[in-house]
Amino acid sequence: MARKELSPELLAGIADRFKALAEPARLQLLQRLRAGDATVSALVERTGLTQANVSKHLQLLLSLGFVARRKEGLYAFYRLADDDVFRLCDLMCGRMDRELKARQRILASR
């Protein structure tokens, strides 16, 4: 084990990837994609975000490999590239759960 120092480049890469998941709008898009592929316009309808905004977020997620794209005529179908996103979000949700429970324990004990 004993992993030594991570290079600044690697740290920056990791940070960039966390940053991609650090926006509610992008998390919402990823969540919508959990149900299956969707076109940009479908995601626009389902999220209430504007078309330009959705497109921009998807580009970022695509560039970092969180989603994949398939073109069909005029349409662009986006899908989740893998299920890392869920593993990552599940870890974060677990943290929040424990946090909440700890807070409740403190409140209960006074």
- Which residues contribute to the site for DNA (CB under 7 A)? 19, 23-25, 39-41, 44, 49-53, 55-60, 69, 71, 73-76
Q: Compute CA distances 110 → 17, 104, 106, whole Å.
A: 41, 10, 7
**Eight-class DSSP state of 80:** E
Q: Is 41 helix (H, G, I), strand (E, B) or coil?
A: helix
Is there binding between residue 45 and its own copies (CB under 8 A)? no
**Least distance (Å) between residue 108 CB and DNA:** 26
Is there binding between residue 27 and its own copies (CB under 8 A)? yes
- Kindly tell me the burial class for residue 44, based on how many C-beta atoms sit within 10 Å of its own C-beta (0-12, 13-18, 19 or more): middle
Contacting positions for its own copies (CB under 8 A): 3, 5-6, 8, 10-19, 21-24, 27-28, 31, 34, 64-65, 84, 87-89, 91-96, 98-99
